[in-house]
Structure 1
Amino acid sequence: MISLIDRFIDRVTMYRLVLWYLVGLVLVAAVLGTLHLIAVDPIALALSTVLVITGGWIANQIFARVFGAIPNVESIYITGLIIVLIMDPAPLGDLSAAGAIVFASAWAMASKFIFSVRRRHVFNPAALGVALPALLLDHPATWWVSGQIWLMPIVVIGGLLIVRKLRRFDLVLAFAVANLGVTVLTGNPSDALQSMRFALFDSPFFFFACVMLTEPLTAPQGKVWRLIYGVVVGGLAAPNVAIARYYFTPEVALLVGNLLTVIVSPQGRVVLTLERIEQAAAGVYDFVFQPDRKLAFAAGQYLEWTLPLQGSDSRGNRRYFTIASSPSEDAVRLGVKFSPRGSAFKRGLSQLQPGDQIVASQLAGSFTLPRNRRRKLAFIAGGIGMTPFRSMLEELLERGETRPIKVLYGNNRLDEVAYADVLKRARDELGIPTWYAVRDATGATSDMKVGFIDADMIEERIPDYRDRTFYVSGPQPMVSATRESLRELGVPAWRIKTDFFPGLA
């Protein structure tokens, strides 16, 4: 069941999944309001949606031009729809309510540019967008999408799909424990169960935790700080928490958490200028960029890359790619595999010329080498999944550092083998062997397996597999199949690391 869910959500980008979820909530709410099953006026909801999206789009275009930024169209709609779902819809003819939601939308978009550190916005735009109208215009967020029994199944199921896509269950769990714990501790002990029921089903708990708390740009990187972030926001967002007689609202609690992110995860956006393009294999090209500042990262981590596109497709103008260069290289290397039916993003990438620029942000990822240099490792790569291993091996080569590593590399054809030069150097200089598997036997040598990397190949080439930690990177079906093969061999799940980032599509 989990594999089916993963297959579904991995076909769409993170932004598109969130957008579909929010659109679905608005449409279902309109239908339920029409049937008088929830207290929402569908006409007011439709009007508010038009006003918020229009006002946000105009504001975003203006500030993007002023600040010379690359706008992400999907993020405009996502922020706008969140505001629609947490501020009361403006009834027809109510200019005060209409002005408040338009102001909230425009302010949310403006805040992304005004409050930024290293080109990364500091605050969750929707949270800051609704906080100011509450203070200045007496139009607070009511979070009407929460506490609606008819909407609750969609809120919960769709929200959990987003969390699964982002692999942020640890963050949501930390938030939940802190929020429920503080709710019980600050309430009447005899009403503990009632307080928990209210927190779960009559407060913004699920929508807030799954949609707003998990926004990648304003949440810390690294598991420890991510958990601390969840605890801080969860505790402050509890109903009875107050400082100097001021009670926190969920959006204000999130803004406080965003400030923590700035302190512990100061990495912002980096602008990279294309120097050259190198062909790494058939259909695989390396884009070599010069960053505007030194990029500090660990081999195996990834970035979100934003490309200005004249015409985007359903996958948007942002992608997650692993960094193929090593941390000590001055240039930043991006390895990409192209296909005839590639996305608009990859078509735009293929048209880049030396001197053109691209923006990268959201440095993250725990698919990195362990600190223990004696730990036995095995790298299993499929196709372009060699990029994180290229980064790791290049770093080891530059250091002259030997580690007990063995590499298995699978491709459809022999000419699709990427970074063969790095793999050869790793074998010659560090004693790290690589064995290949190819589906097409053309040109294959006797020591290559014709077919897939399977349990038999792992047993043959890595006889001490029970003693090794496996790193697996490649297309999602290949990663899933390899994980199953390793589990069949008795390798425990905790010794299997897979290269994940929240944008496989």
Structure 2
Amino acid sequence: MIAWFDRRLGRVTMYGLVIVCLAVVGLVALVLAFIPNGPLSFSPLALLATASVLLVTSYLANGLGGLILRTRPQLSSTVITALLLLFILRPSIEVLPLLGAALAAVVAVVSKYLVAWRGRHILNPAAAGAFVIGFLPSLGFAAWWIGIPQLLPVVAVGAVLILFRTRRLLLGLVYTVVVVAVLELRGLVDGGVPTELLSLALVSLPTVFVAGFMLSEPLTLPPRRWQQLAEAALVGLLTVMPFSLVGGIYNSPQLALLVGNVLAFLVGQRRGIRLRFVERRALTPTSWDFAFAPTAPVRFRPGQYMELALPHSGTDARGWRRVFSIASAPESGELRFGVRLPDKPSSFKTALLELEPGTAVSATSVSGDFLLPRDPGRKLLLLAGGIGVTPFVGQLQQAAVETPERDIVLVSAIASGAELAYGPELAATGFRVVVVAPDRPADLPDGLEWVEGSSLTADIVHALVPDAPERTALVSGAPAAVRDLKRALRGSGVRRVLTDTFIGY
């Protein structure tokens, strides 16, 4: 069931998924607005008018910003920001509130360009727009009307879909638990009823909406998992712990998000990343290696990933941003990405193939926790499915330089011998590498082993690595491949498993 779910979600880009979920919530809200004396205190016309103002203003402001800075704005990001603001600001058909909505949209867009450091925007745009409009009460305010019981089911479904797709369910859970715990403690001290406090936290506040749709915004999260969870806890605490500062600033979801954004910026890659395309080469009949030279040093650890932005004409529904694991070691001074190209590649991958040497490409911050354990004494078993070998290339290259005595075994399962990627690079590391394929690779480098097999089973793992249960395993590949490889590991007695799933973006 989970496999089927994963495959279906994988057909939609992350940005597309967020837009669809927000649109569905908006449609449900529109239906509720038609109910006389219903749960919403504004009319359907007010909802439609505010949505129109936000969408049009965001589009125009983003287009103008892109024109001034000579960049191509991403329409999907613009739509998401406008829809988020729609659920934060109170809809109205009056002139001043509509002007306030337009101003909030402009502030949100401008924050992407001006509140930035070396090309990387720092703040969640919707939170920034909602925060600024709070200083102009005559133009509206952040009502967070999305927090009503009637909308909770559809909001919760959307939040779970987004968090599941981005593998950030734990992030949303931490935020939600902190909000509930703080409200429960505060309420119990004041003599509140626990069930009523729980209902307040989950039903009458925008807790689920913030967790699923705003806190998970990738460009404003710190790079490491533990940092992301710490940010979720902090943002949850600041959301519901009452305080007030000079200038009429008090606790609110938008302020809490902005504080979290700033802290995430401080611990992450504090600059936009600019790359120059160097070369490409075919790895297999279905995969290519793309090499880029950063214009400034980029801090990363082997196994982490980066999101490339490649604006191009004829962009299809998958957009012009994509996440790729880094296939090189930091010492190499370059960034390499192994990319699988299907028979009918997306417009993004087509544009990637057409890059000319010297072309400038932008990227976002480095992220990811798929790292080799620091303890060099820990024995490791690396399992790759197809092009999932990508993050292991840089890891083994770095380990070969820093800890060549380390006990590491890589087992790469591929659909055919022709699909062996990065063979020479893996052989050069000196670590044991076993290729499991139905046929022997024609160009199998010296030092690599081949074992016949159509898939990697528990029996094969046990035969190749008898001490597998004593090892920490790292598994990388597409969702289906990761599930199969984990099943093989469990069957051979391995219990410590870290996975890296290529979910796309």
- Same fold, TM-score > 0.5, yes or no: yes
Matching residue of 1:395 = 398
- What is the CA–CA distance in structure 1 between the aligned matches of 2:207 and 2:130, rounded to whole Å? 17
SS of equivalent to 1:143: coil
Matching residue of 2:387 = 384
Are residues 1:469 and 2:468 paired? Answer: no
Matching residue of 2:88 = 86
SS of equivalent to 2:229: helix
Matching residue of 2:290 = 287
Q: CA deviation at 1:477?
A: 0.9
* Equivalences for residues 17-166 of structure 1 within 5 A: 17-36=17-36, 37-39=38-40, 40-91=42-93, 94-138=94-138, 139-147=140-148, 149-166=149-166
- What is the CA–CA distance in structure 2 between the aligned matches of 1:126 and 1:288, rounded to whole Å? 35
* Equivalences for residues 251-400 of structure 1 within 5 A: 251-399=254-402
- What is the CA–CA distance in structure 2 between the aligned matches of 1:442 and 1:290, rounded to whole Å? 31
Query: Is 1:11–1:504's contact at 8 Å kept on the other side of the alignment?
Result: no
Question: Taking structure 1 as reference, are residues 161 and 241 closer, same or farther at Cα in structure 2, changes over 3 Å only?
Answer: farther
- What is the CA–CA distance in structure 1 between the aligned matches of 2:277 and 2:450, rounded to whole Å? 38
- What is the CA–CA distance in structure 2 between the aligned matches of 1:447 and 1:25, rounded to whole Å? 52
Q: Deviations over 1:343-363 (max 9, x none)?
A: 111011111000112111131
SS of equivalent to 1:448: strand
Matching residue of 2:491 = 488
Greater shift after overlay, 289-298 or 251-260? 251-260
Are residues 1:201 and 2:200 paired? Answer: no
SS of equivalent to 1:21: helix
- What is the CA–CA distance in structure 2 between the aligned matches of 1:2 and 1:382, rounded to whole Å? 19
Q: CA deviation at 1:394?
A: 1.6
SS of equivalent to 1:130: helix
Query: Is 2:225–2:368's contact at 8 Å kept on the other side of the alignment?
Result: no
- What is the CA–CA distance in structure 2 between the aligned matches of 1:413 and 1:8, rounded to whole Å? 26
Q: CA deviation at 1:262?
A: 2.2
* Identical counterparts, % of pairs: 33
Matching residue of 1:222 = 224
Q: CA deviation at 1:25?
A: 0.7
In structure 1, stretches of 5+ residues that fail to align are: none
Q: Deviations over 1:38-86 (max 9, x none)?
A: 4242222222222111110111111122223342221111111001111
Q: Deviations over 1:112-156 (max 9, x none)?
A: 000002311111100111121221243111111211x22210011
Query: Is 1:284–1:335's contact at 8 Å kept on the other side of the alignment?
Result: yes
Q: CA deviation at 1:470?
A: 1.4
Q: Deviations over 1:338-390 (max 9, x none)?
A: 12211111011111000112111131111111111121111111221111111
Question: Taking structure 1 as reference, are residues 476 and 224 closer, same or farther at Cα in structure 2, changes over 3 Å only?
Answer: closer
- What is the CA–CA distance in structure 2 between the aligned matches of 1:354 and 1:269, rounded to whole Å? 21
- What is the CA–CA distance in structure 2 between the aligned matches of 1:177 and 1:475, rounded to whole Å? 31
Question: Taking structure 1 as reference, are residues 294 and 409 closer, same or farther at Cα in structure 2, changes over 3 Å only?
Answer: same
Number of positions where the alignment pairs a residue of Structure 1 with one of Structure 2: 495
Matching residue of 1:169 = 169
- What is the CA–CA distance in structure 2 between the aligned matches of 1:312 and 1:248, rounded to whole Å? 41
SS of equivalent to 1:328: helix
SS of equivalent to 1:286: strand
CA RMSD of aligned residues (A): 2.1
Query: Is 1:272–1:359's contact at 8 Å kept on the other side of the alignment?
Result: yes
Matching residue of 1:436 = 435
